[in-house]
């Protein structure tokens, strides 16, 4: 699958993690993680921290799947508003899902503190803007739901919002618990750390094309014929995990993003906040460490790379116009634009844990707009399950939650 096109900013900004090591022999290990993106990297971190032998394997250059295309905002608010999620999964589960996402932002921060590296993790607030009257009504309902759940949230009317952020919108929800990061840097920092310090084995350019269940776990078959024997497999294969799943659990979409030339710091709005809106698909905005502005959205319900590539110029123009409408005084000149695959589940929640009937095969599928916070949760849940500790989140995010 072609996961992205155009020029994703992070692989231009960062030196490529120059690592080429295809699997050339048969090997044996405790746990194999298929996928070297942010999910596989966080799972590897959790397992290595417990002293579990593991191998990360990827068919591409390390971390150049969706992770390289991500705009990497970290928010507790998921694509499905809490008030709607309550209708779908019940009050307790919905509130818990939001609280787990809130906690995972701090957990991500702590992971990088623990390895002494900072992948441009920056704490920033979030404004969720009402796109229209209907959006304002949704925000009122959402505010109540979040308040009842004990989540940090403030309701801002039009005037205070204009004063704070300088943006015209009917209302907004505000919280100070979000963050932004460089997800490509994050994944490569983690993998490199455990490669140097914890004997993690990392193989690139090796496609796992088949697998067989064995008495002790799995035999994974690489396209080049080499075999890996292991007790557990973690599928952190992102939007390509479908090949390991007996049933489809997500829809694949296309999404678009642009990044500006750096702007003078005086142009950047209050507290460098993340901004998004109630409309679907939503527009979102963030800044980067070098004072660029990233604008994304314009999702389309197709995942055809040719169609997506053709749409890139048009989508770039639309995103530029929408940003200029929001902040007419900021000089925005697009430097790079790209498109990526994205996915949505029916309830906006990820799929994490064992697939029924597939013993020792753990899925870490952080689908949806909060993929990265879900990756953190997946890493913790899977490490707990592999080391024999129960984890309540495995039910909430498990495959059995939907019929």
Ligand X SMILES: Cc1cc2nc3c(=O)[nH]c(=O)nc-3n(C[C@H](O)[C@H](O)[C@H](O)COP(=O)(O)OP(=O)(O)OC[C@H]3O[C@@H](n4cnc5c(N)ncnc54)[C@H](O)[C@@H]3O)c2cc1C
Which residues of this protein are in contact with ligand X, per CB under 6 A? Answer: 3, 34-40, 57-60, 65-67, 69-73, 183, 207-208, 236-238, 240, 255, 257, 296, 340, 342, 366, 369-373, 375
E strands, 67-181, are 73-74, 122-129, 154-157, 171-180
Between 82 and 378, CB nearer to ligand X = 378
For the four alpha carbons of 235, 107, 285 and 119, in that order, the dihedral sign comes to negative
Enclosing H/E stretch for 100: helix 91-115
Between 34 and 149, CB nearer to ligand X = 34
Burial class (CB in 10 A: 0-12, 13-18, 19+), 119: buried
Enclosing H/E stretch for 34: strand 27-34
**Residue whose C-alpha is closest to residue 17's, from 2, 36, 3:** 36
Between 125 and 238, CB nearer to ligand X = 238
Q: Which two tokens stand for residue 316?
A: 């770039």
User: Parallel, antiparallel, or unpaired for β 251-260 and 201-203?
Assistant: unpaired
Between 139 and 222, CB nearer to ligand X = 222
* Least Å from the CB of residue 275 to ligand X: 12
Between 101 and 170, CB nearer to ligand X = 101
Burial class (CB in 10 A: 0-12, 13-18, 19+), 25: exposed
CA 1 to CA 304: how far, in whole Å?
10
CA 403 to CA 385: how far, in whole Å?
23
* Least Å from the CB of residue 104 to ligand X: 10
Residue the block writes with tokens 């919002």 = 161
End-to-end C-alpha distance for the chain, whole angstroms: 27
Between 9 and 155, CB nearer to ligand X = 9
* Least Å from the CB of residue 162 to ligand X: 26
* Least Å from the CB of residue 231 to ligand X: 19
Between 170 and 250, CB nearer to ligand X = 250
* Least Å from the CB of residue 357 to ligand X: 20
* Least Å from the CB of residue 66 to ligand X: 4
Between 3 and 161, CB nearer to ligand X = 3
Cis omega (within 30 of 0) on the bond before 200? no
Q: Which two tokens stand for residue 1?
A: 């699958």
Between 170 and 252, CB nearer to ligand X = 252
**Residue whose C-alpha is closest to residue 349's, from 368, 325, 330:** 368
* Least Å from the CB of residue 202 to ligand X: 12
* Least Å from the CB of residue 96 to ligand X: 19
CA 252 to CA 307: how far, in whole Å?
14
* Least Å from the CB of residue 269 to ligand X: 18
- For residue 334, the cross-strand partners are 260
Of all residues in the shown chain, the one whose CB is closest to ligand X is 371
Residue the block writes with tokens 């799943």 = 245
* Least Å from the CB of residue 140 to ligand X: 25
Between 170 and 245, CB nearer to ligand X = 245
Q: Which two tokens stand for residue 46?
A: 């959790």
- What is the DSSP code (8-state) at residue 63? T
């Amino acid at each position: 699958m072609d996961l992205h096109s155009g020029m994703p900013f992070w692989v231009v900004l960062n030196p490529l993690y120059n690592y080429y090591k295809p699997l050339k022999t048969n090997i044996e290990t405790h746990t194999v993680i298929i996928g070297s993106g942010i999910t596989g990297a966080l799972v590897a971190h959790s397992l290595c921290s417990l002293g579990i032998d593991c191998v990360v394997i990827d068919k591409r250059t390390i971390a150049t799947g969706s992770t390289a295309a991500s705009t990497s905002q970290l928010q507790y608010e998921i694509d499905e508003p809490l008030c709607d999620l309550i209708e779908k999964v019940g009050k307790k589960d919905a509130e818990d899902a939001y609280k787990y996402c809130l906690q995972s932002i701090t957990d991500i921060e702590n992971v990088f503190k623990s390895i002494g590296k900072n992948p441009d993790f920056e704490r920033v607030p979030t404004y969720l803007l009402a796109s229209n009257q209907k959006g304002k009504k949704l925000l009122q309902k959402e505010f109540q739901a979040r308040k009842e759940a004990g989540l940090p949230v403030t309701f801002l009317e039009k005037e205070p919002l204009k004063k704070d952020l300088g943006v015209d919108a009917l209302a907004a929800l505000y919280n100070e618990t979000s963050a932004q990061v460089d997800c490509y840097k994050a994944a490569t920092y983690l993998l490199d750390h455990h490669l140097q310090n914890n004997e993690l084995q990392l193989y690139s350019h090796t496609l796992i094309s088949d697998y067989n269940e064995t008495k002790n776990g799995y035999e994974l078959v690489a396209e080049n014929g080499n075999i890996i024997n292991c007790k557990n497999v973690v599928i952190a294969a992102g939007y390509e995990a479908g090949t390991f799943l007996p049933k489809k659990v997500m829809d694949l979409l296309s999404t678009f993003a642009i990044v500006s030339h750096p702007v003078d710091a005086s142009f950047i709005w209050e507290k460098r906040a993340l901004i998004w809106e109630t409309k679907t698909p939503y527009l979102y905005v963030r800044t980067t460490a070098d004072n660029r502005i990233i604008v994304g959205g314009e999702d389309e319900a197709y995942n055809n790379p040719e169609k997506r590539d053709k749409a890139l110029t048009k989508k770039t123009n639309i995103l530029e116009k929408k940003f200029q409408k929001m902040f007419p005084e900021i000089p925005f000149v697009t430097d790079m634009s790209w498109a990526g695959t994205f996915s949505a589940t029916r309830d906006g929640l990820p799929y994490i844990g064992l697939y029924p009937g597939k013993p020792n095969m753990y899925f870490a599928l952080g689908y949806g707009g909060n993929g990265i916070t879900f990756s953190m949760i997946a890493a913790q849940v899977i490490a707990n399950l592999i080391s024999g500790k129960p984890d309540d989140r495995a039910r909430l995010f498990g495959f059995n939650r939907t019929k």
